[in-house]
Structure 1
Amino acid sequence: MKRTLTALTLAAGLCLGMSAFAQSTKPTVVLVHGAFADASSWNGVAKILEKDGYTVIAAANPLRGVKSDGAAVSALLSSIQAPVVLVGHSYGGNVISEAANDHANVKALVYVSAFAPEAGETVAGLAGKFPGSTLGPTLAAPVALADGGKDLYIQQSKFHDQFAADVPAAQAALMAATQRPVTEAALNEQAGTPAWKHVPSWYIYGDKDKNIPPQAMAFMAKRADAKAVEVVKGGSHVVMVSNPVPVARLIEKAAAAN
């Protein structure tokens, strides 16, 4: 009887140990927000991922320039001693394409209503490559910076319809008030060699996006040879806010594939 109990105890301990090991081997998910948003835009997605056992870091994207923002996220990646799934929203897609280079621990890239530029392309150029973006007329007067640059915001009165049409009005109003500006220079800075050329990618976007034309995102996803492309019906530019479940599930698919 004692031998049986001992065997059962050992087996149970082994199973628990294997379970803990399985959880510890899940990649860390690094979420990078885009222009006119902040790290809290990932709250719904992060909640799901953490419940499912993932370590999540919602990075603070400076929104100052492609190379400098990429360097900031790259520094964060260097501090993570685990495999990483790197996720970018909007302009953040440009940043993750830059940041993932030279980081062997980045196993997957996930683009969420995001830009996936080729070398030499700009966010502004890609947004205008296909018809449909209505962002320009909704921007507020640029804010002059001490270094001669300009910060861009979306007019709060136009934020809901332009940026987050499928988010409740009260929530969109808070997002408008707390939006982070992006520099005009960042939107016109040429991209470097993109990491999607050597790191597998996944892509999800809404078919009612008014910032980046859905046709442009379909083009970029195909060009990057995305492993999976999901289109959220009725989804605005902030699908991670309005539809966190499909976004989180796609991230988990990317994590499981590596």
Structure 2
Amino acid sequence: MSPTPTVLLVHGAFADASSWAGVVEELRGHDIPVRALPNPLRGLASDAAYIASAAAQIDGPVVLVGHSYGGAIITVAGAAENVVGLVYVAAYVPEQGESLGELQGRFPLAPLVANLDEWTYPVDGAEPGVEVTIKQDAFPDIFAADVPAEVTRILAVSQRPLSASVFTEPAATAAWQDKPSWAVVADADEAINPDVQRFGAKRAGATVIEIEGASHAVAVSRPEEVASVIRDAVRATG
């Protein structure tokens, strides 16, 4: 019998690895090995290289799970030899050579796009880079409308910024072309248009589960349902 795959959770923009806490608890309760890594959020190629390296150093098969921008990362990092499955959670699912800007440009833009603050950060030997966060007053409705207010207040002030370059950087490869995938669509998402999620998932041939009324922070608000899909992926690939 094949060993149980390790689940490697990859968070997206404006969040950190603690956003997977409820999912981690659910998976551990089913004796599934799991890791939740910090995502650098500095560029698609470099972020994917970091996650692919981490996956390659895990002994045994790996199921990569990506939320939001993390979906683009696992699409590229999933080419690592020991990755056996991909799970997309309210995520982008790009094609090889496609940027996130091109993918989401196929559909009406979500309210997130009009509610971003821009900041700069130093880049060695180059002009400062541009990074974005969600405006704090808009954060609850856009990112986490189904999460308790006392939690969203903390999430809003502890956002991790995303380099704006990720929206124009094409995906170097698309691991879903030859590895099985699953997708959780958050049908009340105001950060990534649910139709963007549906389109990418269908194109990838993913097994799709829609969660009614779920916000972009579906892993926080509905961890049991998200973990259930991940368990399906683990069972199918183990």
The TM-score, its normalising length taken from structure 2, stands at 0.95
**How far apart, in 1, do the equivalents of 2:104 and 2:150 lie?**
28
- SS of 1:111's equivalent in the other structure is strand
2:161 maps to 1:185 = no
**How far apart, in 2, do the equivalents of 1:179 and 1:205 lie?**
22
Could you tell me which residue of structure 2 aligns to residue 155 of structure 1? 135
- SS of 1:135's equivalent in the other structure is helix
Cα deviation digits, residues 197-235 of structure 1 (max 9, x gap): 011000002111111111111111110001x21111001
Contact (CA 8 Å) 2:56, 2:81: kept in 1 or not? no
**How far did 1:105 drift?**
1.6
- SS of 1:73's equivalent in the other structure is helix
**How far apart, in 2, do the equivalents of 1:160 and 1:125 lie?**
26
**How far apart, in 2, do the equivalents of 1:144 and 1:254 lie?**
39
**How far did 1:180 drift?**
0.7
2:104 maps to 1:127 = yes
- Provide the alpha-carbon RMSD of the alignment: 1.3
Contact (CA 8 Å) 1:127, 1:211: kept in 2 or not? no
Please list every run of 5 or more consecutive structure 1 residues that lacks an aligned counterpart in the other structure.
Answer: 1-21
Contact (CA 8 Å) 1:205, 1:237: kept in 2 or not? no
Cα deviation digits, residues 145-198 of structure 1 (max 9, x gap): 222211111111110001111111110111111111000111221111100001
Could you tell me which residue of structure 1 aligns to residue 15 of structure 2? 37
2:146 maps to 1:172 = no
Q: What letter matches 1:90 in structure 2? A: S
Could you tell me which residue of structure 2 aligns to residue 16 of structure 1? none
2:226 maps to 1:247 = yes
Contact (CA 8 Å) 1:31, 1:88: kept in 2 or not? yes
**How far apart, in 2, do the equivalents of 1:143 and 1:216 lie?**
26
Please list every run of 5 or more consecutive structure 2 residues that lacks an aligned counterpart in the other structure.
Answer: none
Could you tell me which residue of structure 2 aligns to residue 115 of structure 1? 92
Higher helix share: 1
**How far apart, in 1, do the equivalents of 2:106 and 2:236 lie?**
32
**How far apart, in 1, do the equivalents of 2:192 and 2:105 lie?**
8
2:206 maps to 1:204 = no
**How far did 1:132 drift?**
4.7
2:215 maps to 1:236 = yes
Structure with bigger gyration radius: 1
